[in-house]
Amino acid sequence: MLQTKKSSIKEQLNPLIQKLGDSILSHWQKYFHLLPYELPHSLGYVEGKLEGEKLVIENHCYQTPQFRKLHLELAKVGKNIDILHCVMFPKSEYSLPMFGCDIVSGKSGVSAAIVDLSPITPELQLSESYLQPLSHLPRISFSQPRELPSWADIFSDFCLFIRPSNLEEEDLFLSRVSDYLDIHCNNAVSSHSVSEKEQALNLAGQRYYCSKQQQNDKTRRLLEKAFGKDWADRYMKMVLFDIPDK
């Protein structure tokens, strides 16, 4: 089993974030042979100040034959804000969607939790190998669904964006993320490389996805306040949503 670096902030984070981080890493270890992925110098672990509070960002990154980067970010701002961010970036040789998941927790608990398998085809449609198992998942109702931002045409019809109102809803969200990971990882390990034409389409779709995610003003403003505009732009483009060359 892969030995991961022990996080210095993980035990301080919201319990749902701890459980979800463990679940994501467990799925990756179960399905893939993980190799290290080197982030740009000084961007793997970062400390700063945000409105007088200490900000810590930890990044855990790996690669596999199917994925150019598996990225799990944990962040903490003082005692007020805990964040989990995860994206699985496929290699263009494989026609796979983008798995993405984020959780933001504040003083009053989890304010936002989102997960999706975002298509990168020109039509922004998932393949049948995803539509069928996703459609057969038991329906879950949450009391506080949230509205996606205006730039969010990249998300699928199966995108789940909520504010969990209690521990039961947190557990339901955690279970649904696990379902999505199982479907995605199973598809990935059974996938085959595609033609150069299809690779070009996959690459264009992933670039579109990353360019849209870079428009997330909330993330950018937080990073700019803590580290400045230039650093925030570099982090958004080189760590969170780097646009691949190939």
- Report mean pLDDT in 10-residue bins for the chain, 246 residues: 53 94 97 94 89 92 97 93 96 97 94 97 94 96 92 93 97 98 98 96 94 87 91 92 81
Token pair of 180, please? Answer: 């999505």
Asked, for residue 2, whether it belongs to a domain, the answer is no
DSSP state of 145: B
pLDDT of residue 3: 36
Which pLDDT score, from 0 to 100, does residue 6 have? 46
Residue 102, helix vs strand vs coil: strand
Tokens of 47: 């400390």
Residue 246 is assigned to a structural domain of this protein = no
Name the token pair of 154: 């990249």
The model's pTM is 0.93
In terms of Cα–Cα distance, which of 110, 113, 75, 79 is closest to 222?
75
The answer to whether the beta carbons of residues 90 and 184 sit under 8 Å apart is no
Torsion angle in degrees (nearest 10) through CA of 43, 46, 49, 54 = 160
Residue 5 lies in a domain: no
What CATH number has the domain bearing residue 140? 3.40.1500.20
Instruction: Specify the pLDDT at position 2.
Output: 35
pLDDT (0 to 100) of residue 121: 93
> How many other C-beta atoms lie within 10 A of the C-beta of residue 118?
23
**Host domain of residue 152:** 10-240
What pLDDT, on a 0 to 100 scale, did the predictor assign at position 50? 87
Q: How far is CA 39 from CA 19, 31, 59, 71, 239, in A?
A: 25, 23, 9, 10, 7
Model pLDDT, residue 4: 38
Could you tell me if residue 4 is inside a domain?
A: no
Amino acid at 56: V
Q: For residue 41, is it within any domain?
A: yes
* Within-domain flag for 245: no
Residues 6+ apart with CB under 8 A from 64: 32, 33, 34, 35, 70, 188
Q: 3-state class of 82 per DSSP?
A: strand
Cite the beta strand spans of 44-170 per DSSP E. 45-50, 53-63, 67-77, 81-90, 98-106, 109-118, 160-162
Q: Confirm whether 1 is domain-assigned.
A: no
Residue 72 lies in a domain: yes
| Alpha-carbon gap, residue 64 to 73, rounded angstroms | 18
Name the domain count of the chain.
1
Q: Give me the pLDDT at residue 151, please.
A: 82
Q: How far apart are CA 191 and CA 146, in angstroms?
A: 33
